[in-house]
Amino acid sequence: MGRPRRIQFPGACYFIELRGNNRADIFLSNQDRRHFLNLLRAYKERCDLKVYAYCLMPGYVQLLLETVKPNLARFMQGFNTVYTKYFNGQHNTSGHVFQGRYNAFVVDKDAFLPEMATHVHLECLRSGLSSKPWRYQWSSCSAYVEAEAAEPMIDSGPILKRFGKTRFKQSVKYMHAIKERMKAGARSSFPVVRGFCVGDDAFAAKLEAQPGKPDPEPPPAPAAEVMKIVGDVAAGHGMDKEKLLGRGQWRDVARVRREAMHRLWKEARMGVTEIARLFSKTPSAVSQAIRLLEQGA
């Protein structure tokens, strides 16, 4: 099962989610969070980005940004490498900090840019970290609801201009939009079409005509990390690791085995052939298992 290509073009807008490797935290202190944001400011200038929104959670980050140049993969690869080097040096650890493949959905700016900004700003509410998103320290929400821009890094103009003509009216109406979303249910979803974009079918068809290249493959995880993932999945379901790796076809084992295959593919960056060899399955069976979980089946 090959990696899907990243759609990259000048002016592309993305909703991005970066998660910790093996579901671990990517921030262990406020210093880590400040360093992450300082690094984002530096890469905003270096890679010519427009940063619309962010929300830092303990184990993951949500970003809404635009690439003026078609350089999403270059930005993400460089950013992840530099933050990983910092994190490992700061905490005397080693190995990957982020999952092997980040989630990035292309956003229809004309239709969904304000909606996606509020979605990012409500993440701290959905996760139970703050009941008032505009007061959450580690998101860009305050840059929208305050009468004067509080965060120079945030390109709030293209979103706020849809809420009024003056900065005061824009801030008041954006706050109103946040509160209305809270009343409606912060967990309200956004329309993901064909698994890679936020928009409608016409927007998805337009994107599919864009040129794109597969992401460069990161190196696979070491054997110890592979077996740790298998062990974690087995333990999470009260199952022996040997039973999970065996040839048994019991329904409960098969379900847990699919979960392990998916995590090895996504977090340990193993290819389907290597996963098939580990579980004594065919590559096509592994591909089908991964595809089902990617589709939420």
Mean pLDDT of 23-49: 96
Is the pLDDT at 5 greater than 90? The verdict is: no
207 and 242 share one domain: no
Q: What is the pLDDT of residues 208-241, one digit of tens each?
A: 887 655 444 455 567 777 888 888 888 888 888 8
The per-residue pLDDT for 69 is: 93
272 and 179 share one domain: no
227 and 208 share one domain: no
Number of structural domains (the chain) is 2
Is the pLDDT at 3 greater than 60? The verdict is: no
The per-residue pLDDT for 189 is: 66
Alpha-carbon separation of residue 129 from 98, 125, 126, 136, 196 (angstroms) = 21, 6, 8, 8, 28
170 and 265 share one domain: no
The per-residue pLDDT for 227 is: 86
64 and 130 share one domain: yes
pTM for the whole structure: 0.72
Between 75 and 149, whose confidence is greater? 75
207 and 233 share one domain: no
Collapse the DSSP code of 262 into the 3-class scheme (helix H, G, I; strand E, B; otherwise coil) and give the result.
helix
The per-residue pLDDT for 1 is: 43
Q: How far apart are CA 292 and CA 286, in angstroms?
A: 10
119 and 252 share one domain: no
Residue type, position 183, single letter:
K
263 and 171 share one domain: no
Which H/E stretch holds residue 277? Answer: helix 272-279
CA torsion sign for 78, 80, 83, 86 is negative
Burial 28-61 (b: 16+ CB within 10 A, else e): eeeebbebbbeebeebbeebebbbbbbbbbeebb
